[in-house]
Amino acid sequence: MRALTALSERSVPTVSSEELAAAAGVNSAKLRKDFSYLGSYGTRGVGYDVEYLVYQISRELGLTQDWPVVIVGIGNLGAALANYGGFASRGFRVAALIDADPAMAGKPVAGMPVQHTDELEKIIEENGVSIGVIATPAGAAQQVSERLIAAGVTSILNFAPTVLQVPEGVDVRKVDLSIELQILAFHEQRKAGDAEAAAAAAASVLPPRAADGPTRKGPDGDVPAVMPA
């Protein structure tokens, strides 16, 4: 969509799967196959009509309608999310900011007064909110999710570092900022390790590990296997 929107802004009328794939950094066959699930919107020998494709994808992805969301937990992250311009421009309207701290109540954040958790159910029902964002500390997240769900929310974006237990039919997506960094650090470590492997093996004067475990039995000998990222 981002690549398409860029083309649209440059008034490019049509694009081939090959061009679009290059712009988006994906395989052209995959792109065509994905589009084919939406229907046959391309023209053979020509490509895809940019505007029409934007419209069809927007519609299919639900970008043509407005989604009211609530943000629960107005700490640093919650406030950053409230101020984040990317939401409004993509059809998300922040219906309310909710925090459990009574001292926060009434304080303006992103030009909107923070409301107390007591109001949670009322806010959700009055605004027909079906998507909630949880930016509370880990300890509060499960309870907040239960209240959100009881009040009618069926999709949750969870920034708290906990696995939420939710009933069937409720979607949860988790964003864990630390894990993203950890994944990078993991690969970073491997880059360094590969370079040092020979040297370390040759000059090993390190003591064996304290809690001595069984020797590695995996198929790759001593080389640690790659875990999926």
Partner DNA sequence: ATTTGTGAACAATTTCACAGCG
Partner DNA sequence: CGCTGTGAAATTGTTCACAAAT
Residue 156 assigned to a binding site: no
Closer residue to DNA, CB minimum distance, 53 or 166: 53
Q: Is residue 46 a contact residue for DNA (CB under 7 A)? A: yes
Residue 29 beta carbon to DNA: minimum distance, rounded to whole angstroms: 4
Residue 77 assigned to a binding site: yes
25 contact, one of DNA, a second copy, none, CB 5-8 Å limit per kind = a second copy
Restricting to residues 148-167, name those near DNA by CB under 7 A: none
Q: Is residue 187 a contact residue for a second copy (CB under 8 A)? A: yes
Q: Is residue 228 a contact residue for DNA (CB under 7 A)? A: yes
Q: Among the residues of the chain, which ranges form H helices?
A: 2-9, 17-24, 28-38, 50-61, 76-83, 85-88, 120-127, 138-151, 177-202
Q: What DSSP designation does 118 have?
A: G
Residue 73 assigned to a binding site: yes
Burial 128-152 (b: 16+ CB within 10 A, else e): ebebbbbbbeeebbbebbebbbebe
The SS3 of residue 112 is strand
Restricting to residues 10-49, name those near a second copy by CB under 8 A: 24-25, 34, 36-41
Q: Is residue 3 a contact residue for DNA (CB under 7 A)? A: no
Residue 60 beta carbon to a second copy: minimum distance, rounded to whole angstroms: 6
Residue 21 beta carbon to DNA: minimum distance, rounded to whole angstroms: 9
Q: What's the CA gap between 62 and 44, in Å, rounded?
A: 27
Residue 98 beta carbon to a second copy: minimum distance, rounded to whole angstroms: 17
Instruction: Label residue 178 exposed, middle or buried (CB < 10 Å: 0-12, 13-18, 19+).
Output: exposed
Residue 46 beta carbon to DNA: minimum distance, rounded to whole angstroms: 6
Closer residue to DNA, CB minimum distance, 139 or 221: 221
Strands 112-116 and 92-99: parallel
Q: What's the CA gap between 81 and 63, in Å, rounded?
A: 19
Residue 118 beta carbon to a second copy: minimum distance, rounded to whole angstroms: 25
Strand order across the beta sheet in which 67-72 lies: 108-109, 112-116, 92-99, 67-72, 131-134, 155-158, 171-174
Q: Contacting DNA (CB under 7 A), which of 5, 12, 33, 122?
A: 33
154: which 2 tokens?
């069926």
Q: Is residue 22 a contact residue for DNA (CB under 7 A)? A: no
Which of these segments, 14-22, 86-94, 129-137, 162-170, binds DNA (CB under 7 A)? 14-22
Long-range CB pairs of 39-43, under 8 A, 24+ apart, other chains included: 42/17, 43/14
Binding site for DNA (CB under 7 A): 15-18, 26-30, 32-33, 35-36, 40-48, 217-219, 228
